[in-house]
């Protein structure tokens, strides 16, 4: 009897403990959300050296205005607060702390640039505030184990490097491969993806790697060296200025390798036209977005919707600027994620839903490319498709390549 009573007492004590602990354990943090509004924070370089990208922050604001005009997300209007950080990491830290601690935003969205995001990476994860769809191609944003509150957006450079490697192995299994890369993290990220993708075979196939500094005036000698190495496949990891030089020089000295050009320099307007359309013929690149200057999309539904949106909500934005298409895509993904959250806009659920996106299509992604995330995969877009330049447009070919799924 007494023993039973004791047992009962202990059981009750545990019960009480359980009741008091249970709500604490599942406590949800709801910040920046009211019945009529959700606050979203952002920083963009509206001034300073990278201000050309500032249009992304503006086009996102324009899209959220459209969402609000149409009634908001699940009845809530989006209150989009965006500050200028001038692409300066200390300013990003200050502005992001203002957003999180003073403005009390629910989440941070599309902060732009690798250095600015690096400066706030730890802070966001310590504060446990969603740090979503950051605007940078670095690979480190996909690290849910150590940084569960951070998520990237576009395919990262390593992913793209793997796409080219797979194509080289398939089409030119016995080729000699020459590589030109920019000597910094961007160039090395691409190089790593490519070499990882080539695996053992790469050690024999890659005959020459040449690098350049972003401050170099020209890369002519590197191209001559690559030609002399006897390479029949050329992986060209250069930013637009040097891509133009490389394409021209290779053409001028009569070197005609299978020429893989990184997506960074795939623009018709800034690279292929200046380099010469004849010289650019048969270039290969990997794409995930519809190029807004490419005539083949002129009657595409996603493209025409974007043009209509731009004319109504962001008339001062340039229609030949890919960044405006990029911002439109990612803003739609943000609104989609919020919709998927339903009425539970706790930070935990926002993060949970962001890591549970399944086959989401965005209007300016290439047909067939979809957004997919999971709790162990914080890289939303991991698919790309190869395209060959036919002298007028990028013509996609082959299957959509998924960097981490078995082919």
Partner 1 sequence: MAPRALRAAGLLLVIAVACALPFVMSNFRLFQFTQVYIYAIAILGLNMLTGYNGQFSLGHGAFYAIGAYVSAIMMDKWNVHYAWTIPVAGILCLVVGFLFGLPALRLEGLYLALATFSLALAVPQILKYFEHWTGGSQGIVLSKPNAPFGLALSPDQWLYFVTLGVMVLLFWLSANLLRGRVGRAIVAIRDNHIAAEAMGVNTSLYKSLTFGVSAGYTGVAGALSASAIAYVAPDSFNVFLSVTLLIGAVIGGLASISGAVFGALFIQFVPNWAQDISKAAPWAIFGVFLIVFMYVMPFGIAGAIRLLWIRTRRSRVAHAPESRETAATQAPTTR
Residues, the chain = 407
Both tokens of residue 234? 């050329």
CB 210 within 8 A of CB 225: yes
Site string for partner 1, 194-223 (x = CB under 8 A): -------------------x-x--------
How large is the angle between the packed helices 89-97 and 114-127, nearest 10 degrees? 30
Give yes or no for residue 39 binding partner 1 (CB under 8 A).
Answer: no
Query: 84: which strand partners?
Result: 44
User: Least distance to partner 1 from the beta carbon of 89, Å?
Assistant: 5
Give yes or no for residue 49 binding partner 1 (CB under 8 A).
Answer: yes
Nearer to partner 1, 184 or 320 (CB): 184
Dihedral Cα 82, 138, 406, 365, nearest 10 deg: 40
Q: How far apart (Å, rounded) are the C-alpha atoms in residues 44 and 60?
A: 11
Give yes or no for residue 101 binding partner 1 (CB under 8 A).
Answer: yes
Nearer to partner 1, 185 or 399 (CB): 185
> 269 — alpha (psi -120 to 50), left (phi > 0) or beta?
alpha
- No. of helices (H) and no. of strands (E), the chain: 13, 12
Look-up of token digits 């799924």: 405
Both tokens of residue 214? 């972003």
Give yes or no for residue 226 binding partner 1 (CB under 8 A).
Answer: no
C-beta atoms surrounding 199 within 10 Å: 10
Give yes or no for residue 47 binding partner 1 (CB under 8 A).
Answer: yes
Distances 166 to 159, 194, 197, 261 between C-alpha atoms, Å = 11, 9, 6, 15
Contact region for partner 1 (CB under 8 A) — 83-91, 154-162, 165-173, 235-243? 83-91
Give yes or no for residue 249 binding partner 1 (CB under 8 A).
Answer: no
Instruction: Return the closest-CA partner of residue 81 out of 103, 66, 62, 114.
Output: 103
Contact region for partner 1 (CB under 8 A) — 89-97, 237-245, 258-266, 320-328? 89-97
Give yes or no for residue 128 binding partner 1 (CB under 8 A).
Answer: no
Q: Which of 65, 77, 98, 388 binds partner 1 (CB under 8 A)?
A: 98
Give yes or no for residue 398 binding partner 1 (CB under 8 A).
Answer: no
User: Least distance to partner 1 from the beta carbon of 181, Å?
Assistant: 14
Give yes or no for residue 118 binding partner 1 (CB under 8 A).
Answer: yes
Q: How far apart (Å, rounded) are the C-alpha atoms in residues 208 and 245?
A: 19
Give yes or no for residue 97 binding partner 1 (CB under 8 A).
Answer: yes
User: Least distance to partner 1 from the beta carbon of 230, Å?
Assistant: 31
Both tokens of residue 142? 């996909």
> Which residues in the 130-189 window bind partner 1 by CB under 8 A?
138, 184-185
Burial of 293 (0-12, 13-18, 19+ CB in 10 A): middle
Give yes or no for residue 102 binding partner 1 (CB under 8 A).
Answer: yes
> 147 — alpha (psi -120 to 50), left (phi > 0) or beta?
beta
Instruction: Return the closest-CA partner of residue 256 out of 279, 240, 236.
Output: 279
Give yes or no for residue 93 binding partner 1 (CB under 8 A).
Answer: yes
Contact region for partner 1 (CB under 8 A) — 45-53, 151-159, 317-325, 358-366? 45-53
Q: How far apart (Å, rounded) are the C-alpha atoms in residues 25 and 306?
A: 44
Q: How far apart (Å, rounded) are the C-alpha atoms in residues 249 and 129?
A: 49
Give yes or no for residue 84 binding partner 1 (CB under 8 A).
Answer: yes
Look-up of token digits 């974007």: 306
Give yes or no for residue 193 binding partner 1 (CB under 8 A).
Answer: no
Both tokens of residue 341? 């959250």
Q: Which of 6, 122, 171, 256 binds partner 1 (CB under 8 A)?
A: 122
User: Least distance to partner 1 from the beta carbon of 115, Å?
Assistant: 4
Nearer to partner 1, 119 or 355 (CB): 119
Give yes or no for residue 376 binding partner 1 (CB under 8 A).
Answer: no
Give yes or no for residue 275 binding partner 1 (CB under 8 A).
Answer: no
Q: Which of 32, 41, 113, 302 binds partner 1 (CB under 8 A)?
A: 113
User: Least distance to partner 1 from the beta carbon of 216, Å?
Assistant: 12
Q: How far apart (Å, rounded) are the C-alpha atoms in residues 266 and 104?
A: 39
Give yes or no for residue 89 binding partner 1 (CB under 8 A).
Answer: yes
Nearer to partner 1, 188 or 281 (CB): 188
Contact region for partner 1 (CB under 8 A) — 107-115, 150-158, 224-232, 368-376? 107-115
Residues at the contact surface with partner 1, assessed by CB under 8 A? 46-49, 82-84, 86-90, 93-94, 97-98, 101-102, 113-116, 118-119, 121-123, 138, 184-185, 213, 215
């Amino acid at each position: 009897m007494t023993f039973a009573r004791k047992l009962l007492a202990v059981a009750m004590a545990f019960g009480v403990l359980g009741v008091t602990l249970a709500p604490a354990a599942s406590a949800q943090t709801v910040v920046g959300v009211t019945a009529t509004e959700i606050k979203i924070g952002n920083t963009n370089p509206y001034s300073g050296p990278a201000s050309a990208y500032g249009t992304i922050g503006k086009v996102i604001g324009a899209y959220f205005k459209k969402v609000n005009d149409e009634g908001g997300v699940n009845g809530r209007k989006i209150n989009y607060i965006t500050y200028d950080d001038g692409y300066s990491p200390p300013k990003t830290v200050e502005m992001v702390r203002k957003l999180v601690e003073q403005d009390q935003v629910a989440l941070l969205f599309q902060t732009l640039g690798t250095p600015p995001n690096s400066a706030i990476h730890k802070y966001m994860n310590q504060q446990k505030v969603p740090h979503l769809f950051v605007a940078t191609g670095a690979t480190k944003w996909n690290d849910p184990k150590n940084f569960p509150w951070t998520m990237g957006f576009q395919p990262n450079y390593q992913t793209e490097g793997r796409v080219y490697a797979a194509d080289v192995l398939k089409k030119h299994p016995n080729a000699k491969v020459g590589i030109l890369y920019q000597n910094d993290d961007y160039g090395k990220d691409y190089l790593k993806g490519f070499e990882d993708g080539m695996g053992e075979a790469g050690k024999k196939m890659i005959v020459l790697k040449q690098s350049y500094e972003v401050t170099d005036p020209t890369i002519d000698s590197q191209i001559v060296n690559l030609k002399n190495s006897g390479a029949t496949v050329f992986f060209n990891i250069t930013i637009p200025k040097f891509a133009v030089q490389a394409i021209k020089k290779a053409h001028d000295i009569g070197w005609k390798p299978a020429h893989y050009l990184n997506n960074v320099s795939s623009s018709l307007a800034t690279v292929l036209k200046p380099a010469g359309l004849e010289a650019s013929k048969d270039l290969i690149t990997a794409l995930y977005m519809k190029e807004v200057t490419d005539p083949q999309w002129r009657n595409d539904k996603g493209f025409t919707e974007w043009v209509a949106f731009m004319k109504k909500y962001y008339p001062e934005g340039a229609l030949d600027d890919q960044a405006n298409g990029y911002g439109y895509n990612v803003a739609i993904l943000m609104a989609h994620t919020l919709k998927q959250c339903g009425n539970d806009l706790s930070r935990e659920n926002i993060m949970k839903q962001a890591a549970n996106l399944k086959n989401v299509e965005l209007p300016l992604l290439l047909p067939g490319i979809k957004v997919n995330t999971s709790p162990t995969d914080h890289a939303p877009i991991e698919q790309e498709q190869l395209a060959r330049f036919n002298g007028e447009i990028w013509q996609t070919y082959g299957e959509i390549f998924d960097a981490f799924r078995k082919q």
